[in-house]
Amino acid sequence: MKEKQVLIIEDEKPIAEILSYGFKKEGFAVRCAFTGGSGLMAAMEMQPDLVLLDWMLPDLSGVDVCRILTERFNIPIIMLTARSSMEDKLYGLETGADDYITKPFDLREVIARAKTILRRYEKAGAQPQAESSSLIQSGHLTISEAEWIVEKDGIRMDLTPREFELLLYLIRHPRQVFTRAQLLDQIWGYDYEGDTRTVDIHIQRLRKKLDLADSLITVFGVGYKYEPQKKN
């Protein structure tokens, strides 16, 4: 039987190492990621059987990572957190996590719970796999949503998860004008505590990275829209 793969997304290296040690000893294949972004990339690549996900990460919050993962994959997720209030627990579970473990944890308990969840998923016949891949073409861009890949004229471009989501959303709604607040709600979620400048910064980065100055259009006094360009 192929060994089960566990992805650990945790910025505190000693904790990641303890978990890695424990799971390896139990016969799992383990990979560690120390940021939310690299964790997402690793998840796309390896399609793990289980994700252990820290709540507090340096770049994205664990809750965001959890939401993105559960939207795209059918992978069981255990959230790890130093917080212990009931409200946080409920919030963690609402985002799609299967279980929730507070730090400091007992390694044996984490492994036991992981095994329980894996058994539950196997019973349900759920195999972790990406959704059927559909390619979106627009101008010079080709986007594979399932793989989180954007190519410009066949060359793979590096985008952060948020940049990717923002681009995809706008391309899916060509010529439709969105306010910054609408985009914040759609891409970052209602509970995001940043301000609308976040949207401006991401649009600017997308324009620069993908050479989209003519496609990502500022509608003065309103917001932004995506104007598809003919490939020349």
Q: Which residues bind Ca ion (CB under 5 A)?
A: 11, 54, 56
Contact 157, 209 (CB under 8 A): yes
Q: Which is nearer to Ca ion, 82 or 219 (CB)?
A: 82
Q: Please give the helix or strand (H or E) that residue 227 lies within, else none.
A: none
- Residue 54 Cβ vs Ca ion, minimum distance, rounded to whole Å: 4
Q: Which is nearer to Ca ion, 41 or 56 (CB)?
A: 56
- Residue 9 Cβ vs Ca ion, minimum distance, rounded to whole Å: 9
- Residue 221 Cβ vs Ca ion, minimum distance, rounded to whole Å: 41
Summary count for the chain: helices (H), strands (E): 8, 12
Q: Which is nearer to Ca ion, 82 or 126 (CB)?
A: 82
- Residue 225 Cβ vs Ca ion, minimum distance, rounded to whole Å: 37
Q: Which is nearer to Ca ion, 16 or 159 (CB)?
A: 16
Contact 144, 137 (CB under 8 A): no
Q: Which is nearer to Ca ion, 11 or 151 (CB)?
A: 11
Q: Work out the burial of residue 190: count CB atoms within 10 Å of its CB; fewer than 13 is exposed, 13-18 middle, 19 or more buried.
A: exposed
- Residue 95 Cβ vs Ca ion, minimum distance, rounded to whole Å: 16
Residue 151 vs residues 93, 139, 145: alpha-carbon distances, Å: 34, 11, 11
Query: Which position's Cβ is nearest Ca ion?
Result: 56
Sheet holding 178-179, edge to edge: 178-179, 223-226, 216-219
